[in-house]
Amino acid sequence: MATRYSDAGYEIIDCIHVAQRFVSWMYAVVRPHLYGNILEIGSGRGTYSERLTRDFPGSKLIFSDIDPDYVRQLRQKFRSNKDVTVLLLDMGKPADYGKIRQRVDSVFALNVLEHIKDDVAALKHIYGILPKNGRCVILVPAHKMLYNTIDVALRHYRRYSKREVVEKAKLANFRIRHLSYFNFVAVLGWFVNGNLMRKKVFSYTGMQTLNALVPVLQFIEKHILRNSFGISILAVLEKPGD
């Protein structure tokens, strides 16, 4: 049976896909940590994939997803790009990594690892396909106390603390190159909608409001809060080269 997202998962992918300011903001914090040939896990509708083809000309790019419909869409979208390979890939299945036939220098997975039951095993699989000094860039939901009805609807196994990210990265033999929070303003909305109101769906209106406020929020986060608090944790893991 083909693996598919929950209804809430499809909804959040659609919401984010049209929130281009927010997408650019998130991509801006990830892009500096990527290099060489890149594997994107959980490409969805190609929201970030399009930017990778623009910013990494000449690199071999692998876009992947667990949903067959998204894989078909990605293959159609990038069919004329000879540097792009599209794979049906489940981050939690060891056999799927055998589909990768080329060198991968960096991997990134935004809001994917929390969907994997054995997340340490998944990180070990990624470690195994990377060369020395290769990077794994992940964005995961932060703050265990925020785990609520929306997380359940999205099929999240967990939310993370910074300490847990560090511990699990070490179990997979990675070293931490960078660790910070992202998107401070969403914490309040997540708590009110999920913890207090017990909603199970992602707020489209809230996403559009967040999208409109991105320039202001980006300034506050970078220059005032300095990424010290947020709804997500950005972690850059590196495979030791010595």
Contact 38, 105 (CB under 8 A): yes
What tokens does 121 get?
Answer: 């095993």
> Up-side HSE of residue 107: CA atoms within 13 Å toward CB?
30
CA angle 96, 101, 107 (to 5 degrees): 70
Residues 6+ apart with CB under 8 A from 194: 146, 148, 149, 150, 151
More confident residue, 87 or 16: 87
Q: Please state the rounded mean pLDDT for residues 193-217.
A: 89
> Up-side HSE of residue 102: CA atoms within 13 Å toward CB?
17
The model's pTM: 0.94
CA angle 182, 55, 75 (to 5 degrees): 95
Point out the least confidently predicted range of 48-57, 162-171, 197-206, 209-218: 197-206
Tens digit of each residue's pLDDT (9 = 90 or more) over 136-171: 999 999 999 999 999 999 999 999 999 999 999 999
Task: Supply the CATH classification number for the domain 7-238.
Answer: 3.40.50.150
Distances from the Cα of 9 to the Cα of 5, 12, 42, 89, 206, angstroms: 5, 5, 12, 17, 16
Query: What's 113's DSSP letter?
Result: G
Q: Which of 82, 83, 90 is nearest to 64 (CA)?
A: 90
Q: pLDDT grade, residue 2 (50/70/90)?
A: low
Report the percentage of the chain scoring pLDDT > 90.
87
